[in-house]
Amino acid sequence: MQELVFSIADVTAVVPEIIVGVSACLLLMVDLFVKEERKEIVGWLAILAIIFAGVGTVCLASVEARTVMAGMYVVDLYSALFKMTLYIGAIFTILLSLNYMKSEGVEYRGEYYALILFALTGMMCISSGADLLTIYLGIELMALPIYVLVGYIKKSPTSNEAAMKYVILGAFSSGILLYGVSLIYGYTGTTNLAGIAAGITASGTDSPVLTFGVLLLTVGLCFKVAGFPFHMWAPDAYEGAPTSITAFMAVGAKAAAFAGAVRIFMAALEPAFADWQAILIIVAVGSMFYGNITAITQTNIKRMLAYSSIGHAGYALLGLIAGTADGAASIIFYMFVYTFMNLGAFGVIILLRKCTGKGDMIDDYRGLAKNNRLVAVVMLIIMFSLAGIPPTAGFMGKFYIFMALIDQGMITLAVVSIVSTAIAAFFYIRIVLLMYMKEPEGEFDLVKSYSVYYVLAICIMAVIVLGVYPGAFMHLAKAAAIIM
């Protein structure tokens, strides 16, 4: 372990994290002085804090990549791109929440936004962690507020149940992950990612301690990204949570978990590639097929999107299986695109949701296109993008991942994955069919909320622009993956 020297350069490197973390604490205090009816102000302040952090991250990304805090924290283009994805996820979540939490009829307090900011701080720590300790602390700092947010509707038994299941399985997976970390530490004598890679290269990969450590760490990470067969928590947590928080989990928590996983696998466990590649192939293929096939039978749209997110985790894992910089770049791109697609989908769900409890079931979308053309078109584009139909961004995301696989000669795996996208298309297009081909069963009473409209407009634009012109972002992602 390096000697701990603390300098101003270390502090400037973590300014975005400091802004988000400190604002979260300040929001808790500001909240006390804001009247019950005007709690949106707290939400807008949270958005302002994230925008400041975003400016900070952009400024830091333009300087050279560097490791600070005694090798524990790294500031580079890779972390900056993931942080941008996370900022977008958090800002849009807050915009979606402004009206939604009122319509759920919960006691509406500013701590909701503070918790989102705390979780965001954790996600940022994951994407910048250069040491297993930092990444673990980030994972926990992200998970603890999300446990609370999932159970935020205290009076609802489903929300309680989702939170309880999530907290037990989340803590369980952290325990497994940590045991793996402890074994890897015992084997290599360090928790620093670069140090671990050097240690494994020096001592060889054929030790049961290392194999077991890598296995447990991989299982722990697969729990966090909700890959089959470690996905059990996802459908329940997604269905029971408030819809805005489901969006946050599907987008933020998943992107952050991938940020950590890619860095751990590519930077630290690269020499043990053969050990984890085999496990990931099983998880990825299982996730794609299990997620997509089970999604077909769902009647609740949030639960369907949970299974679809398991499938998407499978596709993103393919980028890791390729094991190249191109694979890592395609994961960055996929997560960026996935953020917009999913936030759009959850935005539409929130639009349909009024106090009547409508909007959660797939049947509620029957005949939506008759009187609400615009909303139906938005949902159509998003469903096409999730299914991976060109010219949407979802298609480009999958395209880059499959290209990375084919470059490595893994053609069978690529073909198998493409077959699973065909299965996935079935349940996404079913929603489109319901909206356009069926007669409505009653009047639709959509929520009128400008903040949700903005989110949907931006998501649709991003999905189309990234689908038609993915080059610019992909170029950045490739540069980021190479430096890492």
Partner 1 sequence: MIPLTWFVALSAILFIIGISGVLLRRNLIVMLMSLELILNSVNINFVAFSYYLEDMTGQLFAIFTITIAACEVAVALGILIALVKNRRTFNADDLDTLKG
Q: Among residues 342, 307, 339, which one has the least CA distance to residue 236?
A: 307
Which residues neighbour 56 within 8 Å (Cβ) at sequence distance 6 or greater?
15, 16, 19
Q: Which is nearer to partner 1, 426 or 450 (CB)?
A: 426
The residue among 162 and 320 lying less far from partner 1, judged by its C-beta, is 162
Per-residue binding letters, 240-269, with partner 1 (x by CB under 8 A): x-----------------------------
**# chain residues binding partner 1, by CB under 8 A:** 46
**Binding span for partner 1 by CB under 8 A among 231-239, 273-281, 285-293, 336-344:** 231-239
Residue 298 binds to partner 1 (criterion: CB under 8 A): yes
List residues bridging with 74 in a β-sheet: 67
Helix, strand, or coil (residue 73)? strand
CB 112 within 8 A of CB 149: yes
Q: Which residues pair with 75 in a beta bridge?
A: 66
Residue position matching structure tokens 């290392």: 210
Window of 54-62, 247-255, 296-304, 314-322 that interacts with partner 1 by CB under 8 A: 296-304
297 binding partner 1? (CB under 8 A): yes
The answer to whether residue 236 forms part of the interface with partner 1 (CB under 8 A) is yes
User: Which of the ranges 38-46, 85-93, 117-125, 175-183 carries the binding residues for partner 1, by CB under 8 A?
Assistant: 175-183
Closest-CA residue to 484 (of 335, 283, 261, 205): 261
* Residue 198 near partner 1 by CB under 8 A: no
Tell which residue, 471, 476, 288, has the closest CA to residue 388: 288
Any bridge partners for residue 66, and if so which? 75
Position among 9, 48, 158, 418 found at the interface with partner 1 (CB under 8 A): 158
Contact flag: residue 310 with partner 1 (CB under 8 A): no
Q: Which is nearer to partner 1, 279 or 416 (CB)?
A: 279
**Which alpha helices (DSSP H) does 63-206 contain, by range?**
77-103, 111-128, 132-150, 157-188, 193-203
- Smallest gap from Cβ 118 to partner 1, in A, equals 11
Q: Using the rule CB under 8 A, which residue among 10, 108, 165, 416 binds partner 1?
A: 165
The site string for partner 1 over 62-101 (x = CB under 8 A, - otherwise) reads ----------------------------------------
Q: Which amino acid is at 96?
A: L
- Rounded to a whole number of angstroms, the minimum distance from the CB of residue 71 to partner 1 is 11
Single out the segment in contact with partner 1 by CB under 8 A; choices: 36-44, 186-194, 355-363, 444-452: 186-194
| Closest CB 240 distance from partner 1, rounded Å | 5
Closest CB to partner 1 among residues 125, 381: 125
Cα dihedral angle (76, 193, 257, 326), rounded to 10 degrees?
60
Given 96, 176, 284, 405, the residue binding partner 1 (CB under 8 A) = 176
Q: Which residue in 26, 41, 106, 164 binds partner 1 (CB under 8 A)?
A: 164
Minimum separation from the CB atom of position 155 to partner 1 (A): 7
Q: Rounded to the nearest whole angstrom, what is the least distance from the CB of residue 467 to partner 1 in the complex? A: 32
CB 200 within 8 A of CB 269: yes
Residue of 154, 357, 445, 457 interacting with partner 1 (CB under 8 A): 154
Return d(Cα 241, Cα 249) in angstroms, integer.
9
Q: Which of 38, 157, 442, 443 binds partner 1 (CB under 8 A)?
A: 157
By CB under 8 A, is residue 1 in contact with partner 1?
yes
Q: Binding marks (x or -) toward partner 1, 114..153, rule CB under 8 A?
A: -------------------x--xx--x---x--xx--x--
The DSSP bridge partners found for residue 44 are: none
Task: State which residue, 158 or 201, has the beta carbon closest to partner 1.
Answer: 158
Rounded Cα gap, residues 271 and 221, in angstroms: 18
Determine contact, residues 96/46, Cβ cutoff 8 Å.
Answer: no
Taking the chain, what is the end-to-end CA distance rounded to the nearest angstrom? 21
| Identified binder of partner 1 from the candidate list 105, 175, 391, 471, rule CB under 8 A | 175
CB 219 → partner 1: shortest distance, Å?
Answer: 11
Distances (CA, A) of 326 to 400, 452, 478, 484: 8, 35, 6, 12
Torsion of CA 199, 202, 208, 209, to 10 degrees: -20
Q: Which member of 172, 273, 399, 453 binds partner 1 (CB under 8 A)?
A: 172
111-128 and 132-150 helices cross at what angle (nearest 10)? 160
In angstroms, the CA 302 to CA 361 distance is: 8
For the bound state, the minimum distance from the C-beta of residue 442 to partner 1, rounded and expressed in Å, comes to 25
- List the structure tokens of 220: 């722990």
User: Distance between CA atoms of 52 and 19, rounded to whole angstroms?
Assistant: 7
SS3 369: helix
- Give me the torsion for CA of 255, 377, 346, 321, rounded to 10°: -30
Binding site for partner 1 (CB under 8 A): 1, 133, 136-137, 140, 144, 147-148, 151, 154-158, 160-165, 167-168, 171-172, 174-176, 178-179, 181-183, 185-186, 189-191, 235-236, 239-240, 297-300, 303
